[in-house]
Amino acid sequence: MSDKIYVQQMEFYGYHGVFPEENKLGQRFYVDVIIETNLRKAGVTDDLNETVNYAHIYDICQSIVEGKPFQLIEAVAEHIAEQILSAYATISSCTVKVTKPNPPIKGHYAYVAVEITRGR
């Protein structure tokens, strides 16, 4: 499958992390999603019902990142992928990247992130 939908650099505020201050103070997270699905029918019919609703993808990501705290961003990514795949039977796979731009770890770096790909 070569058709892809990109929903990139969604920004949310969440309370994920292994340190107590992360769960209390929270921080920004960025989420990128790449969805593989057949877009031909949507392209031919110009019908939203024949594709993946980008606003719904945003809502799924927002509800998870801004919802229940997880210790690991790996768990955040896993739950996002699971929810997206559950919501749309037409999706063959999705890649989810969760970025934590300012984790409380010592050192100089741009950010930390995890990226997972899940499929059927």
Q: Which of 79, 76, 81, 84 is nearest to 29 (CA)?
A: 76
R_g over Cα of the chain: 15
Backbone angles phi, psi at 20, to 5 degrees: -55, -35
Q: Which of 29, 3, 14 is nearest to 94 (CA)?
A: 3
100 catalytic per annotation: yes
For residues 34 and 105, give the distance between their C-alpha atoms in angstroms, rounded to a whole number. 28
Catalytic, out of 41, 68, 97, 100: 100
Q: Which two tokens stand for residue 5?
A: 């939908």
Active site residues: 100
